């Protein structure tokens, strides 16, 4: 299954929905498929995220309060 930029597709779909007062089921389904195909990502880009990594309050060298091996 190809990777899809669903966030971009969602914004394009919202723009389409507000462009008209009403939509038929078939027309809307066809537009959704068209938008999805237009937002396919090139192979190898699936899972790519250019957002910065989250920062944690303490460094990883500090011990945690949790035991090293938790009971299952």
Burial of 14 (0-12, 13-18, 19+ CB in 10 A): exposed
Span 7-24, mean pLDDT? 91
* pLDDT exceeds 90 at position 67: no
Span 55-62, mean pLDDT? 66
More confident residue, 69 or 16: 16
Per-residue buried b or exposed e for 24-61, using 16+ beta carbons within 10 Å of the residue's own CB: eeeeeeeeeeebbeebeeeeeeeeeeeeeeeeeeeeee
Dist. CA 28–CA 19, nearest whole Å = 12
Span 43-70, mean pLDDT? 67
Biggest CA–CA distance in the chain, Å, is 59
């Amino acid at each position: 299954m190809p990777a899809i930029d669903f966030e971009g597709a969602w914004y394009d779909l919202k723009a389409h929905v507000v462009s008209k007062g009403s939509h038929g089921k078939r027309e809307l389904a066809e537009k959704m498929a068209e938008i999805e195909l237009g937002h396919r990502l090139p192979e190898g880009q699936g899972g790519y995220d250019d957002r910065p990594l989250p920062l944690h309050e303490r460094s990883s060298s500090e011990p945690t309060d949790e035991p090293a091996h938790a009971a299952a």
